[in-house]
Amino acid sequence: MEPKISKNQFKKAGKILAKKQKDIASEKVEKSEALLATWRKMHIPLLDLFEEHFEKIKKRTLNKKKNRVYYTAQRLKRRESIIKKLRRESTTQLTTIQDIAGFRIICPNLKELNHLKEILEAKKEVNGLILKRTVDYIYDKQKPSGYKSIHLIYSHELANGTELLLEVQIRTELQHIWATTRPCCINLTN
């Protein structure tokens, strides 16, 4: 069941949380924290919808090749990370953060990643999720850090017109090792 909260209420909560807490009345902060928790929970069904879709793809297409393992993980962005992002990027609104819900697929190699990308991009709508765009950090938008991944951004519209976003990341095992090891190394050296 969808909460009877407007998109504008979530936007306002994000603006309050983006400010320094000492400048705002504590009851406003508490209400905004509660709205943030609700916003995060509203994204859980998107993860389930995409997982159902991916399991079908695996059964129909990907598992026909022997010794091919696709690891998956899903998460809701942590409260602290959302608030940090709102404070760091002043134009970002809570309702436009595309990775509140994140689903990651780790492919055995680049050939399998490209094949999976083609399959996912071929179907623009699935289980109420609509593919909005693909961001390619492997070939098109290479990052100086060496980070490589394909991000597919899906949207899901609720009955009240509120749009929720899901970010699906696909990367190879080697790209995943790089993406997870690099921040650890930076933390150790700083």
Residues annotated catalytic, as ranges:
167
CB 105 within 8 Å of CB 54: yes
φ/ψ (deg, to 5) at 148: -135, 130
Beta bridge partners of 150: 136, 170
- Separation between Cα atoms, residue 120 and residue 132, nearest integer Å: 12
Can you give the length of the chain in residues?
Answer: 190
Tell me which residue of 73, 50, 46 sits closest to 165, measured CA to CA: 46
- Separation between Cα atoms, residue 64 and residue 107, nearest integer Å: 14
69: which residues sit within 8 A by CB, 6+ positions away?
Answer: 108
